[in-house]
Amino acid sequence: MNRMVKFLRAVVISITMAFAGLLVIELGLFSLGIDAQSPSQSFQMEVAGELLGEYDPVRFWRLKSVEPVYSEDSRRVMCLTDSVAVMYEGKGYPEILSKQLQQSHPDQDIEIFNGGVPGYTSFQGFKYLFHELISYQPELIILCYGWNDHWYSNNGLPDKAQRPQKAGLLSQLDFLRSVRLIHARVLAKQQRGYQATSGSTLRVSLQDYRANLEQIIKRCEIEGIHVVMMTAPYYQLETELEQLHNEYNDVVRELSTRYQLPLVDLIHEFKDREDLFIEPDTDPVHYNWQGSEIVARALLPKVVPLLVTE
């Protein structure tokens, strides 16, 4: 009995000393102004003070509380894309296309999930599909990535080389400065083998972009899922960016031809139409609800033959 009491006392003393030591370290780091951003915080999306996304160990980040909800017997469609589909809540081209299908074919039970996530690349898109969405057994996927793929990486690493933290004790203690510092060191060590210069590395290279899209197409082919491809339209880009963006759009055209997939290519329809963009003077990427209407209208004849039954 005495031995057990001594053991428990030793455990309590050890835990107390450990927490006291941790407190001293925390106070020391605080007084010196030393801190490190939590790896989970670094993948959250904050827009106009509102936190839109949360950390995801596979996809880096995800929209909060967004997942497909289908009725049991519906024909299931998914739009895999980025922020262009979610700029207007309920007025993106997935929602507009859904309404158009209801009007043109009211007897068909077709439901569309808007899988657009701000900042997503084709790398995150195929992770999203393979790890989550495919379990919902979609019948058709509308595929459109590109803008974020040829954006520069903030830390000099392409998406495929990123090593986000794994869930565990460290992630539960991220409120401590000392733990955040350890976490940052761990991630740095994991990524040390990849040499890249910040500001010059694209998130997804042209070669990897092609490979990512092909992975999605081939997996869908195996699963019996139809694919409709889209190029990403824009409004009057600078020459260098326009050339780069069109190289990525050319990959989409090439793959749609090779795999004989329906393609919606609206580059020329949008290029000189400032009225189709939210802020054409500063943002040549995000089209407004009028632009979304045009996209949905172009998708309709591509989608109907793949879904509508007599």
Residue among 49, 114, 53 nearest 86 (CA) = 114
- pLDDT confidence of residue 196: 47
For the chain, 310 residues long, the average pLDDT of each consecutive 10-residue run is 66 65 54 51 48 78 90 96 86 95 94 95 97 97 97 87 61 49 47 51 96 98 98 91 96 99 97 94 93 97 90
- pLDDT confidence of residue 188: 47
- The residues, ordered by sequence, that sit 6+ positions from 161 with a Cβ below 8 Å of its Cβ are 191, 194, 196
Report the topology of domain 66-151+202-307.
Answer: Rossmann fold (3.40.50)
Let me know the angle formed at the C-alpha of 219 by 233 and 146, rounded to the nearest 5 degrees: 20
- pLDDT confidence of residue 20: 60
Give domain limits for the chain.
Answer: 1-34, 35-59+160-197, 66-151+202-307
The neighbouring-strand residues paired with 229 are 143, 263
Convert the pLDDT of each residue in 47-94 to its tens digit.
444 556 788 888 988 888 899 999 999 999 999 999 999 977 778 999
Distances (CA, A) of 186 to 101, 189, 292, 299: 50, 5, 43, 46
Structure-block tokens of residue 202: 């694209």
